[in-house]
């Protein structure tokens, strides 16, 4: 736990932009009552949180992102840790909010559908991926995620969109690391098979 | 309690003496995604194609879309309740 003396003093060095500050320094400043420091935390992470919620088809991703950060602001005094653990803590809150939202809306989170990828073939791997990347729409990716189980989808989005490690995802979801690895492997294998079938049909 | 020596001794082969996995040497052609493939895809560094495995380029592209939205999505506007909570006031209607 931080000492009360440390909490009472903003720690921004005078000649350093807040944009470059480590997250822990921004957290210290925000905890000391500096709203601008909190705003910088918001600017740094809110887009990523909104994206995570959007891929989960939250009912109002932008509003929910605001709710997540309101909760972060309220609970900031109890946070301990470094930059990585702040990200993990933030996405724990975002994930729980998403689960609450999903329960509230009581709707099917995903539907299975066609995926709009091209079957362009080329000798160069980079070109193939570039072509596929260019042809993918967000809607098609969202539909593709519908082939995954909720657990698999949680793991893929936390690993890729939230950029969390296996260990962090395991802690967040209350699972063992081995279980998270198995879920991510099955998820990617399932997505790969689905995409292969889509390409074969074209 | 004493453990049986046989299996423990057999398992204690130095890593350097153990044969590497076949797929690591390119000797096995499998039509399934390996754990190594999955780890590399998630790390964004599956640099070499596996011609035996269809859909891999498309999967890499899907993960790239997901990753790019996580990194590049601009923050949504702060709404009035959060602004009030921070003591920043509400945005001007102009």
What pTM did the predictor assign? 0.74
Min Cα distance B37 → chain A (Å) is: 9
Does B55 contact A193 at a Cβ distance shorter than 8 Å?
A: yes
Asked if the model's pLDDT at residue B92 lies above 80, the reply is no
pLDDT of residue A79 exceeding 50: yes
CB–CB contact A189 B60 (8 Å)? no
Express each pLDDT in A7-50 by its tens digit.
344 444 444 555 578 899 999 999 999 999 999 999 999 999 99
Across the interface, of B57, B67, B70, the residue whose CB is closest to A129 is B57
Q: Is A9 exposed, middle or buried (0-12, 13-18, 19+ CB in 10 A)?
A: exposed
Q: Does the distance separating the beta carbons of A198 and B77 come in below 8 Å?
A: no
Q: Which of A35, A46, A136 sits opposite B65 (nearest CB)?
A: A136
Q: With beta carbons under 8 A apart, name residues in chain A contacting B74.
A: 47
pLDDT given for residue B94 in this prediction: 53
- The helix/strand/coil state of A176 is coil
Q: Residues A101-134: pLDDT tens digits?
A: 988 886 555 544 434 333 333 334 446 666 666 6
Beta-carbon separation of A199 and B58 below 8 A: yes
How many Å apart are CA A117 and CA A120, to the nearest integer? 9
- Give the integer Cα–Cα distance in Å for B40 and B35: 9
Cβ of residue A191 closer than 8 Å to a chain B Cβ = yes
Helices (H), chain A: 4-7, 23-31, 35-55, 61-75, 83-105, 125-135, 138-145, 150-160, 166-173, 177-201
Q: Which residues of B touch A136 (CB under 8 A)?
A: 61-62, 65
Does the structure show a pLDDT above 80 at B15? no
The interface predicted TM-score of the complex, written ipTM, equals 0.76
Cβ distance A128 to B57 less than 8 Å, yes or no, reads yes
CB contact under 8 A, A196 and B54: yes
Number of separate helices (H) and strands (E) present in chain B: 4, 0
Chain B residues touching residue A191 (CB < 8 angstroms): 55, 59, 62
Is pLDDT of B47 > 90?
A: no
pLDDT band at B46 (very low <50, low <70, confident <90, very high): low
Residue, of A124 and A51, whose pLDDT is higher: A51
Whole-number pLDDT of residue A132: 66
Task: Confirm or reject contact between A152 and chain B (CB < 8 A).
Answer: no
Q: How far is CA A55 from each of CA A115, A179, B66, B67, B72, rounded to the nearest angstrom? A: 15, 22, 8, 11, 14
d(C-alpha B44, C-alpha B47), whole Å: 9
Region A50-74: mean pLDDT is 96
**Chain A: residue nearest B43 by CA?**
A160
**Residues on chain A touching B40 (C-beta within 8 angstroms):** none
């Amino acid at each position: 736990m931080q000492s009360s003396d440390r909490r009472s003093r903003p720690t921004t060095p005078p000649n350093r932009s807040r944009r470059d500050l480590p997250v822990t320094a921004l957290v210290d400043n925000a905890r000391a009552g500096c709203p601008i420091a909190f705003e910088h935390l918001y600017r740094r992470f809110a887009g990523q949180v909104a994206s995570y919620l959007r891929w989960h088809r939250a009912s109002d991703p932008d509003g929910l992102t605001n709710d997540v950060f309101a909760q972060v602001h309220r609970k900031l005094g109890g946070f301990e840790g470094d930059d990585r653990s702040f990200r993990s803590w933030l996405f724990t809150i975002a994930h729980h909010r998403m689960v609450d939202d999903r329960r509230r809306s009581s709707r099917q989170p995903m539907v299975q559908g066609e995926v709009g990828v091209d079957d362009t073939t080329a000798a160069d791997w980079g070109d193939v991926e570039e072509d596929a990347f260019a042809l993918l729409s967000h809607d098609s990716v969202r539909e593709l995620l519908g082939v995954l189980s909720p657990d698999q989808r949680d793991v893929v989005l936390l690993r890729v969109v939230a950029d969390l490690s296996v260990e962090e995802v395991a802690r967040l979801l209350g699972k063992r690391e081995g279980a998270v690895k198995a879920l991510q492997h099955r998820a990617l294998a399932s997505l790969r098979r689905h995409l292969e079938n889509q390409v074969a049909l074209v | 309690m004493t453990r049986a020596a046989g299996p423990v001794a057999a398992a204690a082969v130095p890593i350097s003496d153990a044969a590497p996995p076949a797929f690591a040497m390119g000797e096995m052609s499998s039509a399934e995604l390996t754990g190594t493939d999955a780890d590399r895809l998630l790390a964004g560094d599956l640099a070499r194609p596996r011609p035996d495995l269809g859909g891999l380029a498309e999967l890499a592209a899907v993960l790239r879309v997901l990753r790019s939205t996580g990194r590049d999505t601009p923050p949504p506007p702060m709404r009035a309740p959060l602004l009030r909570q921070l003591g920043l006031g509400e945005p001007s209607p102009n």
